């Protein structure tokens, strides 16, 4: 059954086989691949599962013990864009990452001491740094300045304030930049406008909520900042071609 992830998780696959869904994107599980799933994403393994792998879960608070880790978490492509799926071949870095998983497992089996948290944090941060550097897409490499950081900050703000229905002017003011600067940065990094990304992000959040029968259509609408259910329905249908009720029914079928 699909379920909403409450923590950050890292899946490391040793053998291929089967499929895995994250936010309605189906992936084929491949050998020596790594997958990052962030809080609030919807995930599900599909039977039969013939792959073998390991999974590590951690919280933002555990990782972000200092300014360097916090900056990394806020800017890395691994965590800030639920519209993309960080799933890729580790290549010649696989054995290195696998060894770090081993170190963490062995350390967790030892009696707790004051230095253990620091050591585990260090192992985890090294895994993330390695994964961020794997050249899956040169546009996704960590950049400590410029347009990529600006785009990451925008996405982070949107994820935290999605239910408020803020417009681009609000976010540009929060980032202390002009709207034109935000638009130009987004076009250079993402090849799309920030408005389009914001719309797609809202559509994804609506789809996530529609998966659960316990939440009514009206509850979802008000939860995500729509004043009227009719406006909510019109927005979703204009972007997907189906009503929220139709989407929910088709997904359940």
The pLDDT, as a whole number, for residue 81 is 86
> May I ask the CATH class of domain 147-252?
mainly alpha
Dist CA 5 CA 57 (whole Å): 10
One fold for 3-140 and 147-252: no
Instruction: Give the pLDDT confidence of 6-22 residue by residue, as tens digits.
Output: 899 999 999 999 999 99
Dist CA 194 CA 201 (whole Å): 10
pTM: predicted TM-score of the whole model, two decimal places: 0.83
Delimit the domains of the chain by residue range.
3-140, 147-252
Is the pLDDT reported for residue 237 higher than 90? yes
The pLDDT, as a whole number, for residue 142 is 45
Dist CA 32 CA 91 (whole Å): 7
Q: Which two tokens stand for residue 200?
A: 């797609």
42-46 and 3-4 strand pairing: antiparallel
Residues 3-140: name the CATH superfamily.
Regulatory protein AraC (2.60.120.280)
Instruction: Give the pLDDT confidence of 135-149 residue by residue, as tens digits.
Output: 544 444 444 457 888
């Amino acid at each position: 059954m699909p379920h909403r992830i409450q923590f950050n998780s890292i899946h490391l696959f040793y053998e291929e086989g089967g499929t895995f869904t994250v936010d309605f994107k189906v992936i084929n599980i491949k050998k020596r691949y790594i997958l990052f799933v962030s809080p609030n994403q919807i995930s599900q393994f599909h039977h039969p599962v013939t792959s073998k792998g390991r999974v590590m879960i951690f919280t933002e608070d555990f990782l972000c013990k200092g300014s360097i880790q916090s900056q990394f978490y806020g800017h890395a492509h691994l965590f800030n864009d639920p519209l993309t799926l960080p799933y890729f071949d580790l290549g010649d870095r696989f054995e290195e990452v696998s060894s770090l998983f081993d170190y963490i497992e062995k350390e967790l089996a030892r009696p707790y001491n004051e230095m253990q948290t620091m050591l585990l944090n260090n192992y985890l941060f090294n895994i993330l740094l390695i994964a961020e550097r794997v050249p899956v897409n040169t546009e996704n490499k960590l950049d400590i300045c410029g347009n990529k950081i600006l785009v990451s900050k925008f996405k982070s703000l949107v994820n935290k304030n999605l239910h408020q229905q803020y417009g681009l002017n609000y976010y540009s003011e929060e980032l202390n930049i002009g709207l034109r600067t935000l638009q130009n940065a987004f076009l250079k990094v993402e090849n799309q406008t920030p408005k389009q990304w914001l719309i797609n992000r809202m559509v994804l959040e609506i789809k996530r909520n529609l998966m659960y029968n316990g939440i009514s259509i009206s509850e979802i609408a008000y939860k995500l900042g729509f004043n009227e259910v009719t406006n909510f329905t019109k927005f979703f249908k204009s972007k997907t071609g189906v009503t929220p009720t139709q989407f929910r029914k088709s997904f359940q079928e």
